[in-house]
């Protein structure tokens, strides 16, 4: 830049000497410094300001680094708002004894939603669903029978707060909480809902039958197929029932058009 300015000054002096109007000849030149008198000390060009880096078109790999952040994903934003609402909820008395509400977690666009009854003690401590021994078994069922991780599915409960003494949630507590589940289902829009245990199945379906009566039947909620199976806590007490759950999950795979994952039901 300094060299360019010196060249321009030489051109200006030459133009003045030959009576040429340089501004007409070179209309796009940058503004000129006043010409120094011939006798003055030569102008030392001020250090040029650091040039802005050239703006190159981003390569595909750079796009996410260079592009400004886009608008937030509307589904994730709706989930975040719902989570905050549940964490602050006082609609029923269960909020009084909770350490953490447990809104649910997983892939907000999951094809399958697993539904339990209410958080247990471990879930109340962590604010996450199915993290105790039952949750570990659920993880093994997902991996062994579906080839999925919990981050591939969505996991929620009909009641979002831990009932004292690990009792089942009362009907009026479930009724107060169900609108949250309705909103979760509307956001995830799963292709299949899997009810884990009697409380989840009866409250979602408005049924009064036992799990053994509801298993294997063509059921649906709001047009979404529902598969009823045993709660993982029951499977821990009655390992022989894992064979039933294995068959139920095979049905889920068929409804989703997923390939069966061949593995023994001894998860």
| Distance from C-alpha of 120 to C-alpha of 164, rounded to nearest angstrom | 9
Binding-site size for ligand SF4 (CB under 6 A) equals 14
Residue count of the chain: 267
Q: Which is nearer to ligand SF4, 5 or 100 (CB)?
A: 100
Q: Which of 12, 15, 22, 91 is in the footprint of ligand SF4 by CB under 6 A?
A: 91
Q: Which stretch binds ligand SF4 (CB under 6 A): 40-48, 86-94, 105-113, 198-206?
A: 86-94
| Distance from C-alpha of 260 to C-alpha of 113, rounded to nearest angstrom | 18
The arrangement of strands across the sheet holding 154-157 comes to 105-106, 154-157, 112-116, 192-196, 224-229, 219-221
241 binds ligand SF4 (CB under 6 A): no
156 binds ligand SF4 (CB under 6 A): no
DSSP class of 49 = P
Least spacing, CB of residue 162 vs ligand SF4, in Å: 9
Least spacing, CB of residue 85 vs ligand SF4, in Å: 8
Q: Which of 158, 159, 205, 214 is in the footprint of ligand SF4 by CB under 6 A?
A: 159
| Distance from C-alpha of 244 to C-alpha of 99, rounded to nearest angstrom | 34
Closest CA to 138 of 244, 251, 230, 250: 230
191 binds ligand SF4 (CB under 6 A): no
| Buried-exposed string 31-57: b where 16+ CB fall within 10 A, e elsewhere | eeeeeeeeeeeeeeeeeeeeeeeeeee
Q: Which is nearer to ligand SF4, 169 or 225 (CB)?
A: 169
158 binds ligand SF4 (CB under 6 A): no
Which residues of this chain interact with ligand SF4, rule CB under 6 A? 86, 89-92, 94-95, 101, 159-161, 173, 176-177
């Amino acid at each position: 830049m300094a060299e360019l300015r010196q060249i321009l000054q030489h051109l200006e002096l030459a133009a003045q000497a030959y009576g040429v109007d340089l501004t007409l000849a070179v209309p796009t030149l940058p503004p000129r410094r006043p010409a120094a008198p011939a006798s003055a000390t030569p102008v030392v060009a001020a250090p040029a300001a650091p040039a802005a880096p050239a703006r190159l078109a981003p390569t595909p790999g750079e796009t996410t680094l260079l592009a400004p952040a886009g608008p937030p994903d509307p589904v994730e934003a709706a989930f975040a708002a719902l989570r905050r609402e549940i964490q602050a909820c006082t609609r029923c008395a269960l909020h009084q004894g909770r350490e953490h509400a447990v809104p649910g977690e997983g892939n907000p666009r999951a094809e399958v939603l697993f539904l339990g009854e209410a958080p247990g003690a471990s879930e109340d401590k962590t604010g996450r669903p199915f993290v105790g021994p039952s949750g570990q078994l659920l993880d093994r069922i997902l991996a062994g029978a579906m080839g999925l991780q919990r981050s591939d599915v969505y996991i929620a409960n009909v009641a979002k707060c831990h009932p004292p003494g690990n009792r089942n949630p009362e009907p009026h507590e479930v009724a107060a909480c169900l609108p949250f589940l309705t909103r979760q289902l509307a956001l995830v829009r799963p292709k299949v809902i899997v009810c884990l245990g009697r409380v989840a199945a009866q409250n979602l379906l408005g049924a009064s039958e036992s799990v053994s009566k509801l298993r294997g039947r063509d059921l649906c909620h709001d047009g979404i197929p529902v598969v009823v199976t045993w709660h993982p806590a029951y499977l821990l007490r009655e390992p022989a029932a894992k064979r039933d759950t294995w068959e139920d999950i095979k049905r889920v795979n068929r409804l989703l058009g997923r390939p069966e994952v061949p593995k023994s039901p001894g998860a």
